[in-house]
Structure 1
Amino acid sequence: MPFYQLPRHVPLDPVALLSFRRLIALLPLALGLFLASAAHAGERVVLQLRHTHQFQFAGYYAALEKGYYRDAGLEVQILEGAGRDVPEREVLEGRAQFGIGSSALLLSRMAGKPVVVLGVVFQHSPYAIAMRRYGEQPDLRRLAGGRIMLGRLDDDLKRPNEVVAYLRREGIVPEQLQRLEHSYDPMDLVHGRVDAMLVYTTNEPDYLDRAGFAYDLYNPRAAGIDFYGDNLFTSEQEVQDHPERVKQFRAASLRGWQYAMSHPEEMADLILAKYSRRHDRQHLLHEARQMVPLVQPVLVEMGYMNPARWQHIASVYTTLGLLAPGASFDGFLYNADAAMDLPWLYRILAGVGLLVLVGAVVHVLLLARERRRAADAIRAGEERFRTMFEASPMGIALIDAASGAFTDVNPRYREIAGRSAEAFAQHTWPDFMHPDDVGVWRSEMQRLMSGAVREFRTTIRLIRADGSTVWVEASVVPLAPPRGGPRMKLCMIEDVTDQKENEALIWQQANFDTLTQLPNRRMFLDRLQHDIVKSRRDGSRIAILFIDLDHFKEVNDTLGHQQGDVLLVDAARRIAACVRESDTVARLGGDEFTVILTELTETRCVDGIAQNIIDSLLAPFQLGQEQAFVSASIGITLYPDDAVSVGDLLKHADQAMYVAKGAGRNRFSYFTPALQVAAQNRMRLTNDLRSAVKGDQLKLYFQPIVHLKTGRVVKAEALLRWQHPQRGLVSPLEFIPLAESSGLIVDIGQWVFNEAVRWVQRWRRDIHPEFQVSLNQSPVEFQREGGSYDVWLRTLREMDMPGQAIVVEITEGLLLDASTMVTDKLLQLRDGGIQVALDDFGTGYSSLSYLNKFDIDYLKIDRSFVSNLAPESSDMALSEAIIVMAHKLGLHVIAEGVETASQRDLLAAANCDFGQGYLFGKPIPAEEFDAFLADRLAIG
Structure 2
Amino acid sequence: MHPKLVALHPLLRAAAGLLLVLAGAVLPAFAQDRVVLQLKHTHQFQFAGYYAALEKGYYRDAGLDVQILEGADGGAPEREVLAGRAQYGTGSSALLLTRLSGKPVVVLGVIFQHSPHALAMRQRAGQGPDIHNLIGKRVMLGPLRNGRVEADELVAYLKREGITLDRLRHVEHSYDPLDLVQGRIDAMSIYTTNEPDYLDRAGFPYDVYSPRAAGIDFYGDNLFTSEHELNANPERVKAFRAASMRGWQYAMNHQEEMVDLILAKYSRRHDRQHLLYEARQMVPLVQPVLVEIGYMNPERWQHIAGVYADLGLLPKGVTFNGFLYNAEGGLDLVWLYRVLGAAAALLLLGAAIHVSLLARERRRAADAIRAGEERFRTMFEASPMGIALIDDVSGAFSDVNPRYREIAGRTAEEFAHHAWLDFVYPEDVAGWTVLMQRLVAGDIPEFRTTLRLVRANGATVWVEASVVPLETPRAGPHLKLCMIEDVTDQKESEALIWQQANFDQLTQLPNRRMFLDRLQHDIVKSRRDGTRIAILFIDLDHFKEVNDTLGHHQGDVLLVDAARRIATCVREADTVARLGGDEFTVILTQLRESDRVDTIAQNILDSLLAPFQLGQEQAFVSASIGITLYPDDAASVEDLLKHADQAMYAAKGAGRNRFSYFTPALQVAALNRMRLTNDLRSAVKGEQLKLYFQPIVHLKTGRIHKAEALLRWQHPQRGLVSPLEFIPLAESSGLIVDIGQWVFNESIRWVQRWRRMVHPDFQVSLNQSPVEFQREGGSYDVWLRALRQADVPGQAIVVEITEGLLLDASTMVTDKLLQLRDGGIQVALDDFGTGYSSLSYLNKFDIDYLKIDRSFVRNLAPESNDMALSEAIIVMAHKLGLHVIAEGVETEQQRDLLAAAGCDYGQGYLFDKPLPAEELDAQLRAQAGAVTEP
Of the three residues 645, 648, 664, the one matched with 2:655 is: 664
The SS at the match of 2:473 is coil
When the two chains are superposed, the root-mean-square deviation of aligned CA atoms in Å is 7.9
The SS at the match of 1:377 is helix
* Cα deviation code 1:624-683 (max 9, x no counterpart): 322111111111122222223332222212111111111111111111110111223334
| Partner residue in 2 for 1:591 | 582
Residues 651 and 204 from structure 1, CA distance in 2 versus in 1: closer, same or farther, beyond 3 angstroms? farther
The SS at the match of 1:494 is strand
8 A Cα contact 1:898 1:918, kept in partner: no
Query: Normalising by structure 1, what TM-score?
Result: 0.59
Q: Distance in 1 between matches of 2:169 and 2:844?
A: 71
> Is residue 2:562 matched to residue 1:568?
no
Residues 37 and 649 from structure 1, CA distance in 2 versus in 1: closer, same or farther, beyond 3 angstroms? closer
| Partner residue in 1 for 2:281 | 294
> Is residue 2:507 matched to residue 1:516?
yes
Residues 265 and 408 from structure 1, CA distance in 2 versus in 1: closer, same or farther, beyond 3 angstroms? closer
8 A Cα contact 1:56 1:287, kept in partner: no
The SS at the match of 1:575 is helix
Letter in 2 for 1:622: Q
Residues 310 and 174 from structure 1, CA distance in 2 versus in 1: closer, same or farther, beyond 3 angstroms? farther
Q: Distance in 2 between matches of 1:774 and 1:175?
A: 87
Q: Distance in 2 between matches of 1:824 and 1:259?
A: 72
* Cα deviation code 1:512-545 (max 9, x no counterpart): 4343333333333333334333333343333222
Residues 838 and 643 from structure 1, CA distance in 2 versus in 1: closer, same or farther, beyond 3 angstroms? farther
Residues 251 and 373 from structure 1, CA distance in 2 versus in 1: closer, same or farther, beyond 3 angstroms? closer
Letter in 2 for 1:294: Q
1:109-128 map, 5 Å: none
1:799-878 map, 5 Å: none
Residues 815 and 614 from structure 1, CA distance in 2 versus in 1: closer, same or farther, beyond 3 angstroms? closer
Residues 593 and 84 from structure 1, CA distance in 2 versus in 1: closer, same or farther, beyond 3 angstroms? farther
Query: What displacement does 1:453 show?
Result: 1.9
Of the three residues 517, 525, 533, the one matched with 2:524 is: 533
| Partner residue in 2 for 1:445 | 436
1:171-320 map, 5 Å: 216=203, 221=208, 290-296=277-283, 299=289
Q: Distance in 1 between matches of 2:771 and 2:720?
A: 24
How many equivalent residue pairs?
797
8 A Cα contact 2:852 2:887, kept in partner: yes
Query: Normalising by structure 2, what TM-score?
Result: 0.59
8 A Cα contact 2:106 2:227, kept in partner: no
Q: Distance in 2 between matches of 1:805 and 1:233?
A: 97
8 A Cα contact 2:574 2:586, kept in partner: yes
8 A Cα contact 1:399 1:405, kept in partner: yes
Q: Distance in 1 between matches of 2:813 and 2:93?
A: 65
Percent of residue pairs bearing the same amino acid type: 56
Q: Distance in 2 between matches of 1:650 and 1:404?
A: 55
| Partner residue in 2 for 1:618 | 609
* Cα deviation code 1:461-498 (max 9, x no counterpart): 44555665544322111122418954432122334444
Mind listing any 5+ residue stretches in structure 1 that lack a counterpart? 1-9, 145-149, 151-157, 190-197, 340-344, 709-715, 768-772, 886-894, 903-909, 912-916, 930-940
Residues 369 and 182 from structure 1, CA distance in 2 versus in 1: closer, same or farther, beyond 3 angstroms? closer
> Is residue 2:666 matched to residue 1:679?
no
Query: What displacement does 1:587 show?
Result: 2.6
Q: Distance in 1 between matches of 2:41 and 2:491?
A: 34
> Is residue 2:623 matched to residue 1:632?
yes
Of the three residues 443, 446, 455, the one matched with 2:446 is: 455
Residues 447 and 704 from structure 1, CA distance in 2 versus in 1: closer, same or farther, beyond 3 angstroms? same
* Cα deviation code 1:304-345 (max 9, x no counterpart): 69899999xx99xx9xxxx998599x9xxx999699xxxxx9
Letter in 2 for 1:580: R
> Is residue 2:398 matched to residue 1:407?
yes
8 A Cα contact 1:777 1:809, kept in partner: yes
The SS at the match of 1:529 is helix
Q: Distance in 1 between matches of 2:275 and 2:778?
A: 49
Letter in 1 for 2:512: R
Mind listing any 5+ residue stretches in structure 2 that lack a counterpart? 135-139, 141-148, 162-167, 183-188, 698-707, 757-763, 858-869, 896-903, 906-910, 922-934
Letter in 1 for 2:569: C
Residues 542 and 236 from structure 1, CA distance in 2 versus in 1: closer, same or farther, beyond 3 angstroms? farther
Q: Which moved more, 1:374-383 or 1:635-644?
A: 635-644
1:326-725 map, 5 Å: 366-463=357-454, 469-482=460-473, 485-685=476-676
The SS at the match of 1:440 is helix
Query: What displacement does 1:456 show?
Result: 0.7
Residues 609 and 898 from structure 1, CA distance in 2 versus in 1: closer, same or farther, beyond 3 angstroms? closer
The SS at the match of 2:30 is helix
Residues 884 and 439 from structure 1, CA distance in 2 versus in 1: closer, same or farther, beyond 3 angstroms? closer
Q: Distance in 2 between matches of 1:104 and 1:388?
A: 28
Residues 370 and 202 from structure 1, CA distance in 2 versus in 1: closer, same or farther, beyond 3 angstroms? closer
Q: Distance in 2 between matches of 1:782 and 1:159?
A: 79
Residues 629 and 65 from structure 1, CA distance in 2 versus in 1: closer, same or farther, beyond 3 angstroms? same
The SS at the match of 1:596 is strand
| Partner residue in 1 for 2:702 | none
Residues 400 and 611 from structure 1, CA distance in 2 versus in 1: closer, same or farther, beyond 3 angstroms? closer
Of the three residues 15, 33, 37, the one matched with 1:39 is: 33
Query: What displacement does 1:387 show?
Result: 2.0
Residues 271 and 411 from structure 1, CA distance in 2 versus in 1: closer, same or farther, beyond 3 angstroms? closer
Residues 391 and 264 from structure 1, CA distance in 2 versus in 1: closer, same or farther, beyond 3 angstroms? closer
Residues 58 and 561 from structure 1, CA distance in 2 versus in 1: closer, same or farther, beyond 3 angstroms? farther
* Cα deviation code 1:675-715 (max 9, x no counterpart): 1112233344566678x59x985768789999x9xxxxxxx
Q: Distance in 2 between matches of 1:55 and 1:265?
A: 10
Q: Distance in 1 between matches of 2:836 and 2:392?
A: 83
